[in-house]
Chain A
Amino acid sequence: MINTNRGLGKYILFTILTCGIYSYWFIYKLAQDINVLCSEDGKNTGGLVKFILLSVITCGIYAWFWYYNIGNRLAENAPRYNLHFSENGTSVLMWMIFGILLCGIGPFVAMHILIKNTNALAFAYNTQKVQQ
């Protein structure tokens, strides 16, 4: 069973309480779950080590690329579960880049999109597994 109870509030709260460490745990689990949910597309989402190393080397640009890819991957795989997401990687990236200029709210919106879409896919995946 894949976690369907991810939430933005929990993510923010635990990230503040753990001085940012929880956000890395979150990314680790998110990458892992997305690789299971979208395994049929033959692609692979980079894990935490790759995320941290390449983000440091590229001054954070790889993190944007990672989020963009995840947004796209979720949108591309939604039809497999009879779902449709209106947001894709571009929406996530736009919120990350331009949304940050609006009192820093953009990255939260982007994370909300990713969490919402991952939860929806996970719910559909779990339902399929139970029916099988």
Chain B
Amino acid sequence: MKNIMIKEYVKFGLTMVLLYSFFDVIGIGCPIKFLTGVPCAGCGMTRAWICLLHLDIKGAFYYHPLFFLPIIYFFIFLFKDKVPHKIFNCAIVIGIVLFTTVYIFRILNPGAVVNINIKSGFIYKFYKLL
């Protein structure tokens, strides 16, 4: 059962890597930003991890202050069966609150990493075309 679960996770991970690589190749990148022109809560995460790989922790925090969370949540989901249900639920709520708070803060204080440009979004362009 555990092996089947890991196989499912790997299949899902590979599908997502392929899909988002495809998005990147055709110039979509982040689908939320592409459609709306508004960056998503995960925008800056890739750049943050690139900084981290260059051991630039300050730069990683600059691009996304929650860059370390995905790895923590990866292990929480991987060992979900061993984590008590209440703690798992608390972790999920904390994650949602943290990401939403940081997202709202960054949207209200746009900078070099997060900038809103609705006119560059596909939906706006399509609407104008009509």
Contacts and interface: CB of A to CB of B under 8 A. Distances in A.
DSSP majority for the A interface? Answer: helix
Contact of B15 (A8, A100, A104): A8
Nearest to B20: A103
Contacts of A98: 96, 99-100
DSSP majority for the B interface? Answer: helix
A109 B9 CA distance: 10
Interface string B4-20: 00001001101110111
B96 A103 contact: no
Interface string A62-103: 000000000000000000000000100000001000101111
Nearest to A109: B12
Interface stretch (B39-47, B54-62, B110-118, B120-128): B39-47
Contacts of B30: 103-104
A103 B31 contact: yes
A9 B16 CA distance: 8
Contacts of A116: 8
A103 B32 contact: yes
B interface residue count range (under 10 / 10 to 19 / 20 to 34 / 35 or more): 20 to 34
Contacts of B41: 101-102
A interface residue count range (under 10 / 10 to 19 / 20 to 34 / 35 or more): 10 to 19
B32 A94 contact: no
Interface in B21-73: 30-32, 40-43, 45
Across chains A and B, which 8 residue pairs bring their CB atoms closest together, nearest first?
A101-B41, A104-B31, A102-B42, A9-B15, A103-B42, A103-B30, A112-B12, A104-B32
26 contacts: A7-B11, A8-B11, A8-B15, A9-B14, A9-B15, A9-B18, A12-B15, A12-B19, A94-B96, A98-B96, A98-B99, A98-B100, A101-B100, A101-B103, A102-B41, A102-B99, A103-B20, A103-B42, A103-B43, A104-B32, A104-B40, A105-B42, A108-B15, A108-B16, A109-B12, A112-B15
